Amino acid sequence: MLAEATCLMKYDDANNLKSKLQSGMVRNHAGAQELAKGYTAGIRRVEIASIISCGILVLFVFCCLCWHFRLNQLGGVLVNAVLAIIVADFLSGLVHWAADTWGSVNGRFGRTFIRPFREHHIDPTAMTYHDLIETNGHNCLLTVIPLMIVSHQLITLSDDKIAATCSSYWFVFILCIFVTLTNQFHKWSHTHNDLPFWVEKLQDWHIILPKKHHHIHHVSPHETYFCITTGWLNYPLERIHFWSTLEWLIEKTTGLHPRDDDLRWANKTD
Ligand SMILES: [Zn+2]
Ligand SMILES: [Zn+2]
């Protein structure tokens, strides 16, 4: 009950943030402007290559899996599909938490992978102006290698061996699909106009990340509700204090303070 009340209070704060965004206050934020400049032509080239490779591999693996599919595998495939979505949601939370809480935008890694997270906290609606490539490029880069491994196995293994482990290939395939689409689901959770009807239905049914649910994360200091694929794990992880316990452990063992860099960018004025 207390957790739900806290969440509702946070949602009120998120609505305040939304009105600030609509008034354009954060658009002029010095940190947001500097971080937005970090999106370079080189990063975009890598994103285009990732999206093309990922698209070809997804199509190939899907065709192979359909070719090998037998009706008696349906139960196993459905169970693995649900597990894959839960794992994708957890991984989205883990990566999001790590990038929000630790590290800095310095160096090539920081500029490429951490910068978008810093920009997103200062200017959450900026991502709604990103095109398909900027929205999905990073996540496609993550799924290319597992899709290549599955493709290689589906080409080289015998039909009997593929049939025996078919459920696990479906698991990896659906995991890759949901990891690939995570930032698209995230973008839709910040988009308030002109969403397709079916996307709003998927959000309403909580099959993908709903708007109100994700806005709980967008309350400074951004310390909870990190899962952004479906958000199914946010409430249980909050109940067991998963992220705060992890941060406490890391702080105790390394002396690093969570969200130091994130707060520095949030308070930037020049
Ligand atoms: Zn965040
Ligand atoms: Zn967000």
More confident residue, 65 or 2: 65
Q: Would you call 118 helix, strand, or coil by DSSP?
A: helix
Cα of 262 vs centre of ligand 2, distance in Å, is: 14
13: in domain: no
Cα of 213 vs centre of ligand 1, distance in Å, is: 13
47: in domain: yes
Q: How far apart (Å, rounded) are the C-alpha atoms in residues 91 and 82?
A: 14
202: in domain: yes
213-224 residue pLDDT tens: 999 999 988 999
Number of domain units in the chain: 1
Q: How far apart (Å, rounded) are the C-alpha atoms in residues 44 and 133?
A: 8
78-125 residue pLDDT tens: 999 999 999 999 999 999 999 999 988 888 788 878 888 988 999 898
121: in domain: yes
Question: What residues make up the domain containing 160?
Answer: 18-266
| pLDDT level of residue 18 (50, 70, 90 thresholds) | very low
Q: How far apart (Å, rounded) are the C-alpha atoms in residues 116 and 267?
A: 17
Cα of 23 vs centre of ligand 2, distance in Å, is: 18
- Residue 227 gets the label, from left (phi > 0), alpha (psi -120 to 50) or beta, of beta
5: in domain: no
39: in domain: yes
Cα of 121 vs centre of ligand 1, distance in Å, is: 6
11: in domain: no
Q: How far apart (Å, rounded) are the C-alpha atoms in residues 170 and 67?
A: 12
Q: Which residue has the tokens 């995570």?
A: 182
Q: Is the pLDDT of residue 69 over 70?
A: yes
**What pLDDT was estimated at residue 249?**
97
Q: What's this model's pTM, rounded to 2 decimal places?
A: 0.82
8: in domain: no
